[in-house]
Structure 1
Amino acid sequence: MEDLISISEVCKRYQITSRTLRFYEKEGLINSHRERETLPRKYAPEEVEKLRKILIMRSLNLSIKDIKELFLSDQDISVAIRSKIVVIRTELDNKERQLRNLERAVTLLTEKQDIFQEQDIPEMESRQLDIAVRATELLLDKQYDEFTELFPESSRKYLTAGFLDAFNEDMKLINGELYKIKECFQVDDSIHVYIQGTENTLLIKYIFHDAFISAFTFHTLMFDCRM
């Protein structure tokens, strides 16, 4: 039993408490050795190695249940990690959707519109496509006053002529002279507008709160008036 490592040494090595060790023992993840009930716990090297792996997996946010399944089966840890990634991505998608709904509500309330009014989703999506095309045409023609009218009133002051001129120049610098819209369609929660240029095809992405544009982006340039 000379190889056994004391509980105090294990706690010091991994910066954990004895309570944590006892919890992992209770869950059946590691085992300790005691010569007598009155003496402190000790751990064999292989149990300490298991503990090290447990702590790494916990740092990856794997649950105790996940870790138990890994220890009791031949499952590759990569499978558990990928499963966790899927769960987190789903949670993030749900949070993003919730955030967009809240931002939409703020926009509508700011514009003194009714957030409880029922809407025809296909009709709204069709309207947003039309607005995205119209916005792009106005931007390229430098009709900035009409362009800014497509945004919530609270954000229009940020869309200065100087800012929009610089935006236009950056678009042309990368894509050459821009002369016509090729296509426009919806992708998830944004409207994609493709513009034919002499050098490249430009993609502008618009994000909407109902009939108002809340953000638009091109390349690495972005204007975002969401909360």
Structure 2
Amino acid sequence: MPDLHWTIPVARWSSWPAAAAAAPDIGFIEPIVRRRLSTLSRAALKVAHDCVGEDVAAVRTVFASRHGELRRTTDILRNISAGEPVSPTAFSLSVLNAMTGVFGIARGDRSPASAISAGAETLGYALLEAHAQYATDSTTPVLLVYADEPADPAYGTIEDEVQGGALAILFDAAAAASQLTCTIARGPDAADGSFAVFPTQSQAVHHCLDTHASAAWQGADATWQWSWHHGAA
């Protein structure tokens, strides 16, 4: 695969750390639904809502997570193994795109939504998907939501394990203040020495958004790099 390079206009972004002492405020979700949500979904919905607010009527959503609701799924498997009944609600909320459904229903928004999981490169490929959707139709904003948490210890050591937390980025040319440039460079000498390298993609992207300094993540076959540019083209 050749090197890839793309730029997306960033209107706003929001993050939620896994180590936060307080619970995410998702008061916009009905209580009957809210009490059934996992910590992961709550964090994802929190940052998603912070990004779109009340002023974005319709938004296409790209949800990304390496493990998704793996902990909920693991509990379901344990119930099955123990011969215990499985909750239909737990099952319906265990799928990767559960958060997008809850978010769309809460907003009354029927815009398209997709879900992506691509191992350690999940966030990077979600950014590529968001770019593809935005390039196809720039009239409707695209919301990228990334949320993850480490896998249950029952699965043993996970290579390139994720860092917990949630991140949302709204791509909208009409409200953009700056641009995020993403690059996939392949080959042993592909890395730019001026880019700070981080252990996970989420740490690298968050660093770029927060400090406006370039950041990178080194994978087995390629180096992913992100840089910030003030002002939309």
Please give the TM-score of this superposition, normalised by the length of structure 2.
Answer: 0.23
Q: Whose helix fraction is larger, Structure 1's or Structure 2's?
A: 1
TM normalised by structure 1 equals 0.23
More strand by share: 2
The higher relative CO (CA closer than 8 Å, separation ≥ 6) is in 2
Query: Greater Rg, structure 1 or structure 2?
Result: 1
